[in-house]
Amino acid sequence: QSALTQPPSASGSPGQSVTISCSGTSSDVGGYNYVSWYQQHPGKAPKLIIYEVSKRPSGVPDRFSGSKSGNTASLTVSGLQAEDEGDYYCSSYAGSNKFEFGGGTKLTVL
């Protein structure tokens, strides 16, 4: 069982927006601003799309945005495109130099 809780699936039509949640505790998500999000396509390595809750690495489209409220972080994908389909994982620093991942959310573009 993963330390961070994500919905197993999410979906949306092209052009729509979808939000994926990542629920933790005050010892991880709520206690630090080191929440990151990763996109993984089948058979590929994960790719960093958000770090420090809401920052995007260079090259990541601004359709991807992150936020946090209390012990829950969220990833929003706006203007859904077919290539956004894949698995999304959240991660958080959990103190004592340790990290945690969520169980992952499978995003389907209808």
Partner 1 sequence: EVQLVESGGGLVQPGGSLRLSCAASGFTFSSHWMHWVRQSPGKGLEWVSRIYPDGTTTSYADSVKGRFTTSRDNAKNTLYLQMNSLRVEDTAVYYCAGERNPGGVDWGQGTLVNVAS
Does residue number 15 form part of the binding site for partner 1 (CB under 8 A)? Answer: no
Cα–Cα distances (Å) from 28 to 67, 80, 100, 109, in that order, read 15, 29, 8, 30
Residues 81-100 within binding reach of partner 1 (CB under 8 A): 89, 91-93, 96-100
One of 19, 30, 31, 34 touching partner 1 (CB under 8 A) = 34
One of 13, 45, 62, 82 touching partner 1 (CB under 8 A) = 45
Contact criterion met (CB below 8 Å) for 9 and 88: no
Go through the chain and tell me how many residues it has.
110
Does residue number 26 form part of the binding site for partner 1 (CB under 8 A)? Answer: no
Q: Within a 13 Å sphere around the CA of 79, how many CA atoms are in the beta-carbon half?
A: 5
Contact criterion met (CB below 8 Å) for 37 and 88: yes
Does residue number 2 form part of the binding site for partner 1 (CB under 8 A)? Answer: yes
Helix (H, G, I), strand (E, B) or coil at 77: strand
Does residue number 62 form part of the binding site for partner 1 (CB under 8 A)? Answer: no
For binding to partner 1 (CB under 8 A), which residues are involved? 2, 32, 34-36, 38, 45-48, 50-52, 55, 57, 89, 91-93, 96-104
